[in-house]
């Protein structure tokens, strides 16, 4: 269990320091919010609503039935003049690049679509490039998603701590949280790890467990609509990017010579190598890439559906749609619940399969048989 805590902290740290932790604030509806001006009459901007509810932001709006508050999260930047920390309240809710913040280190900063730029560098630019790091400082802010990761960490720690406590007395059967988690953990150990990784599966159990529970909890809190839940964590491509990147590092770190021999010198007629070796090399990166996109797209699609179903009420501007939308949303929630578990399971299984592939050895019989066939010719 201590190892699990360790790895959870490691994953968190990595995600926290990813300098573009805010990049996905660009929002999928960025291009479509121009629809609003294009149309003559008032059109309910569903795409903008979806983008607003699924992307990251520096401010955390808590909207409960009797409690409305905007929590201005700290902005932490690594600028040309050093480390700069201030509250995002200084932007005064501006997201169009109008308010200039003068911080203590002498930088002048503006915020445009949740990305912070140097004010002088983007004078008059309509769509400044996100990737150009001469225009913007490195953003290590505590944004809404980082807060969500901390919250998931808290939930994981609490549930796993109580699960562990149930095993302290070896005479008692585990009850409570442990009883719920035990079949899941045993399932991961037997059907995912042992089956796919084989002999050395124990080394990878902490990592696989962490990945599974992190993705599962993140998916689940995305489904609950009120604060402190309701954060779109795995529907953010940067979060899934980090998860896939860590998976790639684990796979590469556990690959053995056999694996690389098969990639660069596959056991096929030499003429096919021209085609096969580039494909194999691309495959090393495409497999985690697919993991990333699969998780991201499934979860984002689910959240988009839910928000759109509720937005139907506003598009039709009729309260009766509230009942219809409500029923749709309830049914969609069941499907989304299934998808939440399924995607966590799929990510874990595929990671285990890839690790197993990288650890594979013992094809000597095949090569020996090949050699003997050639010898008898």
Partner 1 sequence: MIGAGLAVIGAGIGIGKIGGMATEAMARQPEFAGKIQGAMLITAAMVEGVALFAVIVALIK
- Taking the complex as a whole, the smallest distance from the CB of residue 357 to partner 1 amounts, in Å, to 16
Task: Tell me which stretch binds partner 1 (CB under 8 A): 77-85, 261-269, 288-296, 359-367.
Answer: 288-296
The verdict on 335 binding partner 1 (CB under 8 A) reads no
Q: CA neighbours within 13 Å on the CB side: how many for 368?
A: 4
- Residues 296, 304: Cα–Cα separation, whole Å: 12
If one asks whether residue 282 binds partner 1 (CB under 8 A), the answer comes out as no
- In angstroms, what is the minimal distance from the CB of 29 to partner 1? 9
Which residue's CB is nearer to partner 1, number 312 or number 353? 353
Nearer to partner 1, 26 or 103 (CB): 26
d(CA 83, CA 48): 33
Preceding omega of 39 cis (within 30 degrees of 0): no
1 part of the interface to partner 1, by CB under 8 A: no
| Min CB(345)–partner 1 separation in Å | 8
Q: Given the complex with partner 1, which of 277 and 346 has the nearer CB atom? A: 346
Binding of residue 125 to partner 1 (CB under 8 A): no
Residue 240: CB minimum distance to partner 1, A: 11
Using CB under 8 A as the binding rule, the residues of this chain from 12 to 41 that contact partner 1 are: 28
Burial class (CB in 10 A: 0-12, 13-18, 19+), 215: buried
List 138, 245, 293, 324, residue binding partner 1 (CB under 8 A): 293
Residues 56 and 294: their CA atoms lie apart, in Å, by: 20
Q: How far is the CB of 294 from partner 1 (least distance, A)?
A: 4
**Which listed residue (294, 329, 337, 360) binds partner 1 by CB under 8 A?**
294
Please give the residues from 338 up to 357 whose contact with partner 1 meets the rule CB under 8 A: 342-343, 346, 349
Please state the φ and ψ torsions of residue 134, each to the nearest 5 degrees. Answer: -85, -15
- Which positions lie near partner 1, rule CB under 8 A? 28, 290, 293-294, 296-298, 301, 342-343, 346, 349
């Amino acid at each position: 269990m201590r190892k699990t805590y360790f790895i959870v902290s490691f994953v968190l740290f990595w995600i926290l320091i990813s300098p573009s932790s805010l990049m996905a604030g660009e929002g999928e509806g960025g291009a479509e919010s121009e629809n609003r001006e294009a149309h003559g009459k008032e059109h309910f901007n569903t795409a903008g609503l979806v983008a607003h509810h699924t992307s990251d932001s520096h401010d955390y709006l808590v909207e409960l039935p009797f409690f409305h508050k905007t929590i201005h999260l700290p902005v932490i930047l690594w600028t040309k003049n050093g480390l700069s920390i201030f509250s995002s309240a200084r932007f005064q809710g501006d997201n169009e690049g109008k308010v200039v913040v003068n911080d203590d280190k002498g930088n002048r900063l503006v915020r445009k679509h949740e990305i912070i730029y140097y004010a002088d560098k983007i004078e008059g630019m309509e769509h400044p490039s996100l990737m150009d790091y001469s225009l913007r400082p490195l953003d290590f802010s505590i944004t809404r998603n980082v807060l969500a990761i901390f919250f998931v960490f808290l939930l994981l720690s609490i549930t796993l701590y109580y699960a562990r406590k149930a095993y302290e007395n070896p005479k008692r059967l585990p009850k409570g949280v442990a009883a719920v988690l035990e079949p899941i953990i045993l399932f991961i150990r037997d059907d995912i790890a042992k089956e796919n990784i084989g002999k050395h599966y124990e080394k990878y159990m902490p990592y696989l467990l962490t990945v599974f529970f992190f993705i599962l909890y993140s998916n689940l809190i995305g489904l609950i609509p009120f604060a402190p839940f309701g954060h779109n964590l795995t529907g953010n491509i940067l979060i899934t990017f980090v998860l896939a990147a860590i998976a790639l590092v684990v796979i590469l770190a556990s690959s053995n010579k056999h694996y690389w021999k098969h990639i660069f010198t596959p056991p096929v007629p030499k003429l096919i190598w021209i085609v096969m070796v580039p494909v194999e090399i691309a495959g090393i990166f495409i497999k985690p890439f697919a993991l990333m996109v699969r998780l991201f797209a499934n979860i984002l699609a689910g959240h988009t559906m839910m928000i759109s179903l509720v937005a139907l009420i506003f598009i039709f501007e009729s309260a009766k749609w509230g009942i219809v939308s409500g029923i749709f949303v309830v049914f969609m929630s069941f499907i989304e619940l299934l998808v939440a578990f399924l995607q966590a399971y799929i990510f874990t299984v595929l990671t285990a399969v890839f690790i197993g592939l990288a650890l594979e050895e013992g094809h000597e019989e095949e090569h020996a048989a090949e050699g003997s066939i050639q010898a008898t010719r």
